[in-house]
Structure 1
Amino acid sequence: MIAAERLHCKRGGRAVLHDVSLTLANGEVLGVLGANGAGKSSLLALLAGELAPDAGRVLLDGTPLAGLPTATLARRRAVLPQSPTLAFDLSVAEVVAMGAYPFPELTPGTVDELVARALALADVAHFIDRRYPRLSGGEQQRVQFARVLVQVLAAQQPGEGRALLLDEPTASLDPRHQQALLQAAHELARNQGLAVLTVLHDVNLAARWCDRLLLLANGTTVACGAPADVLTPDILQTVYQIPAAVVPHPHAPARPLVLFD
Structure 2
Amino acid sequence: MIKAHNISYKIGNKPILKDICVSFQPGKINLILGPNGAGKSTLVKVICNQLKPQEGTVFYEGIDIKNTSVAELAKVRAVLSQNTELAFPLKVKEVVTMGRYPHFSVNPTAKDEQAVQEAMHFFDVEEMADRDYLTLSGGEKQRVHFARVVSQIWYPSGKGCRYLVLDEPLTFLDVHYQFQFMHKLRELLKKQDLVIVGVVHDLNLAAKFADHLVLLNNGELLASGTKEEVLNAENMKTAYRLEPVIHNDERGMYLFFE
Indicate whether the TM-score tops 0.5.
Answer: yes
| Distance in 1, Cα, partners of 2:12 & 2:144 | 32
| Distance in 1, Cα, partners of 2:108 & 2:144 | 22
| Distance in 2, Cα, partners of 1:183 & 1:75 | 24
The answer to whether the Cα contact below 8 Å between 2:32 and 2:216 also exists between their aligned partners in 1 is: yes
The Cα offsets for residues 11-37 of structure 1, whole Å up to 9 and x where unpaired, read as: 254111001111111212110000000
Q: What is the alpha-carbon root mean square deviation over aligned residues?
A: 1.5
Alignment size in residue pairs: 257
Q: Which runs of 5+ in 2 are unaligned?
A: none
The percentage of counterpart residues that share the same residue type is 37
| Distance in 2, Cα, partners of 1:13 & 1:92 | 43
The answer to whether the Cα contact below 8 Å between 2:160 and 2:193 also exists between their aligned partners in 1 is: no
The Cα offsets for residues 179-201 of structure 1, whole Å up to 9 and x where unpaired, read as: 11121122212335210000000
| Distance in 2, Cα, partners of 1:208 & 1:83 | 26
The answer to whether the Cα contact below 8 Å between 2:76 and 2:157 also exists between their aligned partners in 1 is: no
1:203 equivalent to 2:203? Answer yes
Q: Which residue of 2 aligns with 1:74?
A: 74
In the TM superposition, what are the counterparts of 1:152-163 in structure 2 within 5 Å?
A: 152-154=153-155, 156-163=156-163
1:260 equivalent to 2:244? Answer no
Letter paired with 1:15:
P
The Cα offsets for residues 223-252 of structure 1, whole Å up to 9 and x where unpaired, read as: 111112221111111111111111126xx5
In the TM superposition, what are the counterparts of 1:8-47 in structure 2 within 5 Å?
A: 8-47=8-47
Q: Which residue of 1 aligns with 2:190?
A: 190
| Distance in 2, Cα, partners of 1:141 & 1:13 | 35
| Distance in 1, Cα, partners of 2:142 & 2:93 | 14
| Distance in 2, Cα, partners of 1:71 & 1:153 | 16
| Cα 1:84–1:13 shift into 2, 3 Å | farther
| Distance in 2, Cα, partners of 1:181 & 1:188 | 10
Letter paired with 1:201:
H
| Distance in 2, Cα, partners of 1:120 & 1:260 | 38
| Distance in 1, Cα, partners of 2:125 & 2:61 | 33
In the TM superposition, what are the counterparts of 1:21-170 in structure 2 within 5 Å?
A: 21-104=21-104, 108-154=109-155, 156-170=156-170
SS in 1 for 2:146: helix
Normalised to the residue count of structure 2, the TM-score between the two structures is 0.95
| Distance in 2, Cα, partners of 1:238 & 1:141 | 32
SS in 2 for 1:102: helix
Task: Give structure 1 regions of 4+ aligned residues with deviation exceeding 4 angstroms.
Answer: none
The answer to whether the Cα contact below 8 Å between 1:231 and 1:256 also exists between their aligned partners in 2 is: no
The answer to whether the Cα contact below 8 Å between 2:223 and 2:229 also exists between their aligned partners in 1 is: no
Q: Which residue of 2 aligns with 1:4?
A: 4
| Distance in 2, Cα, partners of 1:124 & 1:237 | 40
The Cα offsets for residues 103-153 of structure 1, whole Å up to 9 and x where unpaired, read as: 118963222221121112222122112110111111111101110000111
Q: Which residue of 1 aligns with 2:171?
A: 171
Letter paired with 2:175:
P
